Amino acid sequence: MGQFVDGLKFSGGSHSLMPKSFIEEVVKRAHQHDVYVSTGDWAEHLIRNGPSAFKEYVEDCKQVGFDTIELNVGSLEIPEETLLRYVRLVKSAGLKAKPKFAVMFNKSDIPSDRDRAFGAYVARAPRSTEYVEDVDLLIRRAERCLEAGADMIMIDSDDVCKHADSLRADIIAKVIGRLGLEKTMFEATNPRTSEWFIRRYGPKVNLFVDHSQVMDLECLRGRNLGKSHRSVLSSSYFLL
């Protein structure tokens, strides 16, 4: 399926549990099929080891053949200037940087399906948290990452597009409107969500999907281009 896949991602810190020789073998196989290889969420576990730990991590990733390093902004919990410095460090090593952002909002602000039935009013449930993500601030941070050299912005599915029945189309539209379709990748955890993205934003929307969804997703892309799915070679999504 290499002709339909642009990138392969090692989820979480899975590569840290694998022998170096095995990682190099997988990376080599991916490169033979013109598939780039990305790390998952792992950098945040290393920066606790000191100021030089992240630089060493970047060098280690480069040594085994990784092309892209993902930076989970929420897990890193670092100042914005430090995040931008990490992006530049990744780029200076000749690798691609992919910051990952998660939009978080209070679920009590969104009525459940039963609350919407027949337009009936149901009192809002007490807030479980006072934290509400400022989407405009998140987008501005993502813009600064792109200005610093980041190659792609990943948007986590949680609270945005995890379930097709509760997609935040307003947030998705705002993110794409500001960052652009080519520079944004959305995590699509199920086929219905992928279908929504294809129908709304066309076959070239960047999606991060599980390997089990690759062929179905490519068929969706092909139908929306009016071509066979085999001719759609410019799609951009990851395998878990």
pLDDT of amino acid 233? 29
Does the residue 154 lie in any domain? yes
- At residue 104, what is the residue type? M
How many domains is the chain built from? 1
Does the residue 203 lie in any domain? yes
Does the residue 226 lie in any domain? no
- At residue 155, what is the residue type? I
Does the residue 239 lie in any domain? no
Query: pTM for the full model?
Result: 0.79
Does the residue 22 lie in any domain? yes
pLDDT of amino acid 166? 78
- H helices of the chain, in order, are 20-32, 53-64, 73-76, 80-92, 113-116, 135-147, 169-179, 191-201, 214-225
Does the residue 228 lie in any domain? no
Does the residue 235 lie in any domain? no
**Residues 6 or more apart in contact with residue 84 via CB below 8 angstroms:** 144, 145, 148
Least confident segment among 39-43, 139-143, 193-197, 231-235: 231-235
CATH number at residue 201: 3.20.20.70
pLDDT tens by residue, 184-226: 999 988 888 999 999 999 988 999 988 888 888 888 888 655 4
Does the residue 119 lie in any domain? no
The first and second tokens of residue 68, run together, are 């892209």
Task: Note down the domain range covering 216.
Answer: 2-105+130-221
